[in-house]
Amino acid sequence: MHSDSTEVKKSIRTYMTIGVALLVFTGITVAANQFHFGVPVAVTVALIIAMMKGSMVASVFMHLSHEKKWIYGALILTVLGFLVLMTVPIFTTMDTIGKHVPAIGGAAEHQGH
Amino acid sequence: MDKTGIHPGGEGVQAVAHGHDPHHDELGFWRKYVFSVDHKVIGIQYAITGLLFLLFGFTLMMIMRWQLAYPGRPIPLIGMWLGQTRAPMGIMLPEFYNQLGAMHGTIMVFMGVVPLAVGGFGNFVMPLQIGAPDMAFPKLNMLSYWVYFVGGVTMLASFFPKGGAAQSGWTSYPPLAIISDGQTMWLIGMIFLITSSLLGSINFIVTIVQLRARGLSYMGLPFFVWAQFVTSFLLLLAFPPLEAAGVLQLMDRLAGTSFFMPSGLVVSGRPLTISGNGNPLLWQHLFWFLAHPEVYVLILPAMGIVAEIIANNTRKPLWGYKALVYSVTFLGFMSFIVWAHHMFMTGMGTTMSAFFQTTTMIISIPSVVILTALLLSLWGASIRFTTPMLFALAFLPMFGIGGLTGLPLGLAPSDIHLHDTYYVIGHFHYVVAPGTIFALFAGVYYWFPKATGRKMNDVLGAIHFWGSFICINIVFMPMFIQGLSGMNRRMYDGGAQYAYNAGLPLKLNVVIGMAAWTLGLFQLPFIVNFFTSIFWGKTVDKNPWEATTLEWSAPSPPGHGNFLTEPIVYRAPYEYSVPGAAKDFSPQFEPEKA
Amino acid sequence: MNIPYTVEERPDTGLTNGKLGIWLFLASEVMLFGALFSTYIILRTGAPEWPHGELNVLLGAINTVILITSSVTMVMAWATLKLKDWAKHRLYLIATFALAGIFLVNKYFEYKDHFDKGETPAHSTFTAIYFTLTGLHGIHILGGMVVMLYFLGPGTKLWKKNPDQFTNRIEFTGLYWHFVDLVWIFLFPVLYLL
C-alpha cells in the first residue's frame, strides 16, 4: 500500500503523466474518427483506443496494478460475465431458423427528420 | 500464526459480545427492534416478512386453482368482495386470473423465497457460522431490508390502481408487458427488490472473506456458508442486467421509446405511433440472464440448509465435502451461460440452440453430484428423524424429480412439445416447492432454538410435514401428465383449448385444487407452532441438536456481538462420530483435550 | 461492538472491508452498464440505418477532457490526504466536484438542444439508447457529487476522529469516480464517434 510518503510523491508524478496521456489519447480518439473506416475496422480501432485509456485509469488511478488477489478474482469473473453479455445475445439474435422479414410500415417511414 | 494469519489478540479482532456496555442499553424500542443494525434482528425481519409474503403468494394461487377446478363458478368466501373489475358476481375475470398468475410468481420468487433463504437464513446464520460479531456493513444490511420492504409494499399496492396488478407473467415479456396495465408499479417494485439484493450480496461476500474467525479456512466452512457465498456472487453479477432491463421497459412504457417494441405493431386495431426497430428478444435475453442464475439462488441456500441438517442428524461427516464445494462453485460459473434454454422457441437457430442445450446438460452434472453426495451421506448413518430431518430427507427425492423432469426441457427437441405447458410448471415447482420451501421449513425448525432459546413442537411438526408432503405431490405430479397432453400454461381455461385429448388431464384440475386447498390447511399447524413456541416452547440450552458448527457455541439467542469469548476454530465442520472421541460429535469450537 | 478490518487490513487478504466492498459494487456496475452496451449492440445491428452526426462531437470531447481531469484531481485529493495535506486535499476535492458540475451543465445544454430539435428518446432507437446510457451515467455523476459534498461537509468530522478511516473513504470515493470516468471513456467513442 502507498503508506510511505515518498512512495505517494512518486505516484503523484505518475498520476499527472497518465492524466496527460489520457488527454492525448482522447485527441487520438477524435482524430481517428476523421478517417472513414468501414464499420468493423472503426469499431475495432475505437475499442482498442478505449481499452488502452481504460486500462490506464484502472491500473494507475484505481491502483489495480498492485491490488490484491480477491479484487482481481472478482474482476476477472465480472469481465467474463461482461463478455458473455456482449457476445451471446447478439450471436443468438443473429442465428435464426428462418429468413428475416422486415416489418410492414416500419423503419423506413419513421427515419428522417 | 494460523492459516488465517491472524495473531491472537490482534488489533481489531474483537468478536466479543459487550454484554454490559451501558451505551448499548440505551437503544430505544425503534433502534433495537425496527431499525436495528444487528444481523440477527434483520435476519428475523427478513424471515417473517418473507414467510408472510409466501403465505400471501400461496393464497393467490389457491384462488387461481378455484377457477381452474370450477371454471366460471363464483369464488367462495371472498368472491363477492373482490369487486366488479376483478370478479363480477364473484366469477373471476380473465384479466384478474392473469394478475394472480403474474403476482403469484413474482411474490413467491422475489418477495418470499429469496428474502427468506438469503436475507433470512443467510443473515441470521452465516455470521454466527463463521464466528463473526455481525455483518461487515451493518448499516447497509439494515438498508437492504428496508429497501426490500418498500419494494414488497409497492408490489402489493400494485393490485389497487385501475387496471390492476401486472398481468403479463412474472417474466413480463414485451410487447404485451408494454401495453398492459399494472406493469409500471411492478417495474418500480422490481427495482427496489433488485437493489436490496445487490446491497445484500456485497455484504455477504465481504463478510465471508473478511470476518472468518481464527482458524476458519475456506475448506473448513460449513457447506451452508459456501452455498450462500456462491449465491451472493450470482446475485451480484446477474441482477444488474435485469435492473437495466427494467429501466428500459419503464422507458418504453413511460417515455415512448422502442427498446423492445418492433415496428409495425397494431394494438386494438390501431397502429402504434412509436419509432419501432426494437427487439422483444432483447428483453428475454436480459431477463433470463438474471432469471436463470436466480433459480440457482433459489436452490443453493436450500441445499446448504439440507446439508447442515443431514450431517447433524446422521451423526456422520458429509460425504464428499470437497466434491460439494467444487460442484457448487462450478454450478455458479455455468449458471451464467445456460439462460437461453428458456428461449428455444423464439426462432433461435440450431447453432445457438445446440450451444445452450450443451451447457444446460453440463450444468446438470454438478447438481447431480451435490444430490448424490447428500444421498450418500445417509449411507451407514444413525439417522435421527427430528422434524428438520423429515423435511431435509424429503428434499432429496423431491429435488431429484424436479431435476430429472428438467432434462426434457433442457433438450431442445423435446422442449418443442413441452415448452409453456404444465410440464414446465410441474418441473420448476417440484424444485422450488417440495424442494426449496421444504428445505426452508427444515431450516426454521432447525435454527428456531438458536433464535429463541426454545424448540418448536414435534407433534405439530410431524403433522405439518406429512400433510404437506402428501398434498404437495398430489398438486404437482398430475401437472406432468397435463403438460404432456399439451395443456398450455397461463391460460384462464387451464390450457384446454391447446390440448390434444385433454379430457382426463383437465379433470385433474379438480384433484389438484383439492390438494392445494388441503395443503393450505396443513400450513396452519406450522403457523400455530411457530407463534406458540416463541412463548411456550420447551426451553433448550445453546446446542440442543448436539451440532458441530460455530453458531451452536453462542448463547440462544445470541446477544449483541454474538459470542461471549472470541470463537476459535479447531477442526473441520462435520466431525461427528470421530473414532476414539468421548462424544459422538466434536464441535469446531472445542479445543482438543490435552 | 467493533467490526474488525474496517480500517486495518486483514493479514491474509490484505484488504479492508470497504475496499473489497467498493470493488464488488463496481463489479455489479460493470454488469449494469454492460446490459446497456449489449442493448446498444442488438439495437444497432437490428436497425436498418443508424444515425451519424446527430450528436455534438465537440461537446462530447470537451466533456471527456473534463472528466479525465476530474479523475486526476480526484486521485490527487486522495494522495494529498495520505501526505496529510488537508488544505490541498480540500482544493482537489472541490475541483473534482466543480468539474463534475460543469460536465452536468454541458449535458443539460446537450439534452436541451436535442429536445428542441425533436430528438427525444422516443424519436428513434438511437436516441433511446443515447439518452438512457448518458442519463444513467449522469445519474452516477450526480451520485458521486452527493458523496463528495458529504465529504466536503458533514463527513469531515471523521478526519478528526479517525483520519485513516477518512482517507480510506476518500480512496473508495475515488475508485467509484474513476469507474464513472471509465464508463464515459467507452461511452464517448461508442455513441459519438462510431
Tell me if A46 and C72 make a contact (CB, 8 A cut-off): no
- Minimal Cβ distance to C39: which of B3, B210, B282: B282
| Residue C42 pLDDT grade (very low, low, confident, very high; cuts 50, 70, 90) | very high
Q: Do B255 and C121 touch (CB under 8 A)?
A: yes
- Domain count across chain C: 1
In a domain, B155, yes or no: yes
Q: Is residue A91 part of a domain?
A: yes
Q: Is the pLDDT of residue B130 over 70?
A: yes
CATH number of the structural domain spanning residue B310: 1.20.210.10
What number of other Cβ atoms are within 10 A of residue C139's Cβ?
A: 10
| Residue numbers in A near B349 (CB within 8 A) | 95-97
Given a cut of 70, whether residue B4 has pLDDT beyond it is no
Instruction: Name the least confident of B15-19, B94-98, B530-534, C93-97.
Output: B15-19
Confidence of residue C49 (pLDDT cuts 50, 70, 90): confident
Identify the band that residue B6 occupies on the pLDDT scale cut at 50, 70 and 90.
Answer: very low
DSSP class per residue in B104-171 = HHHIIIIIIIHIIIIIIIIHHHHHHHHT-SS-S-HHHHHHHHHHHHHHHHHHHHTTSSTT-S--STTT
Using CB atoms, which chains have 3+ pairs under 8 A with A?
Answer: B, C
Q: Do A92 and B340 touch (CB under 8 A)?
A: yes
Touching C (3+ Cβ pairs <8 A), the chains are A, B
Is the pLDDT at A1 greater than 60? The verdict is no
Residues 6+ apart with CB under 8 A from C119: A113, C54, C127
- Sequential DSSP letters for C9-67: PPTTT---HHHHHHHHHHHHHHHHHHHHHHHHHHHHHHSS----S-S-HHHHHHHHHHH
Query: Does B240 sit within 8 Å of C32, measured CB to CB?
Result: yes
Residue C110 belongs to a domain with what CATH number?
A: 1.20.120.80
Q: Check: CB of residue B129 under 8 Å from CB of residue B452.
A: no
Q: Is B460 on the interface with A (CB under 8 A)?
A: no
In tens, the pLDDT along B245-264 reads: 999 999 999 999 999 999 98
Task: Give C142→chain B minimum CA distance, Å.
Answer: 18
**pLDDT given at position B593:** 67
pLDDT tier at A102, thresholds 50, 70, 90:
low
- The total of structural domains in chain B comes to 1
Choose the closest CB to A110 out of B276, B279, B351.
Answer: B276
Furthest CA-CA distance within chain A: 68
pLDDT in tens, B192-237: 999 999 999 999 999 999 999 999 999 999 999 999 999 999 999 9
Least CB–CB distance from A77: residue in B233, B263, B289: B233
A35 touches chain B (CB under 8 A): no
Q: How many domains does chain A have?
A: 1
Closest partner CB to C178 (pick from A33, A62, A69):
A62
**Does a structural domain hold residue A71?**
yes
pLDDT score, position B239? 96
Q: Does B263 touch chain A (CB under 8 A)?
A: yes
> What DSSP string runs through chain A?
---SHHHHHHHHHHHHHHHHHHHHHHHHHHHHTTS---HHHHHHHHHHHHHHHHHHIIIIIT-GGG--HHHHHHHHHHHHHHHHHHHHHHHHHH-BSSPPPPPTT-HHHH---
Interface check for B350 against chain A (CB to CB < 8 A): the answer is yes
Q: How many pairs of residues across B and C have Cβ atoms under 8 Å apart? A: 154
pLDDT at A98: 74
Averaged pLDDT of chain C:
94
Is B210 in the C-facing interface, judged by CB distances under 8 Å? yes
pLDDT higher than 90, residue A40: no
Residue in chain A closest to B293 (alpha carbons) equals A81
What pTM, to 2 d.p., does this model score?
Answer: 0.93
pLDDT score of A26 more than 50: yes
pLDDT of residue B204: 98
Q: B206-209 contacts: CB < 8 A, separation 24 or more?
A: B206/B136, B206/B137, B206/C17, B206/C20, B206/C21, B206/C24, B207/B126, B207/B127, B207/B130, B207/B132, B207/B135, B207/B136, B208/B126, B208/B130, B208/B232, B209/A70, B209/C13, B209/C15, B209/C20
Where residue A3 falls among pLDDT bands split at 50, 70, 90? Answer: low
Enumerate residues 43 to 72 of chain A having a beta carbon within 8 A of any beta carbon in chain C. 43, 46-47, 49-50, 53-54, 57-58, 61-62, 67-71
Domain that holds residue A65: 2-101
Which of chain A's residues have a Cβ under 8 Å away from the Cβ of B286? 89
- pLDDT tens digit sequence for B462-472: 999 999 999 99
pLDDT digit string, tens, across residues B47-59: 999 999 999 999 9
Instruction: Name the maximum alpha-carbon separation found in chain C.
Output: 62
**What type of residue sits at position B353?**
S
Residue C112 has pLDDT above 60, yes or no: yes
Q: Which residue has the higher pLDDT, A7 or B260?
A: B260
- Answer yes or no: is C39 within a domain: yes
With respect to residue A111, please indicate whether it lies within any of the assigned structural domains: no
Q: Give the Cα-Cα-Cα angle C180, C184, C186 (nearest 5 degrees).
A: 125
Question: Mean of the per-residue pLDDT values for chain B?
Answer: 92
Is A107 a residue whose pLDDT tops 50?
Answer: no
Residue B333's pLDDT band (cuts 50, 70, 90): very high
Angle between helices C17-46 and B280-314 (to 10 degrees): 140
* B241: closest chain A residue by CA: A85
The whole-angstrom distance between A19's CA and the closest CA on chain B is 30
Maximum pairwise Cα distance, chain B: 86
Q: How far is C73 from C75, CA to CA, in rounded Å?
A: 6
Task: Give Cα B68 to chain centroid, integer Å.
Answer: 26
In a domain? residue C186: yes
Task: Return residues 162-221 of B near A (CB < 8 Å).
Answer: 205, 209
CA atoms of B88 and B82, how far apart (whole Å): 8
- Does the pLDDT of residue B43 top 70, yes or no? yes
Q: What is the model's pLDDT at position B435?
A: 96
Establish if A44 belongs to a structural domain.
yes
At C71-93, the pLDDT tens digits run: 999 999 999 999 999 999 999 99
Residue B195 lies in a domain: yes
Whole-angstrom distance, CA of residue B586 vs CA of residue B574: 8
Question: What are the tens digits of pLDDT across the range B479-504?
Answer: 999 999 889 999 998 887 877 777 88
- Whole domain around residue C91: which residue ranges? 17-193
* Full domain range(s) for residue B152: 34-261+278-553
Residues in chain C with CB shorter than 8 Å from the CB of B256 are 120-122
Specify if A109 maps to a domain: no
User: Among partner residues B15, B18, B247, which is closest to C132 by beta-carbon distance?
Assistant: B247
What pLDDT sits at residue B503?
80
Once rounded to an integer, what is the mean pLDDT over residues B450-470? 97
Whether B18 contacts chain C with CB within 8 A: yes
When pLDDT is cut at 50, 70 and 90, the band that residue B303 belongs to is very high
Residue A112 inside a domain? The answer is no
Region B545-558: mean pLDDT is 94
Contacting residues for C61 by C-beta, under 8 A, at least 6 apart: A26, A30, C188, C192
Query: Residue C70: in which H helix or E strand, if any?
Result: helix C57-82
pLDDT confidence of residue B19: 42
In chain A, the residue whose alpha carbon lies closest to the alpha carbon of C75 is: A61
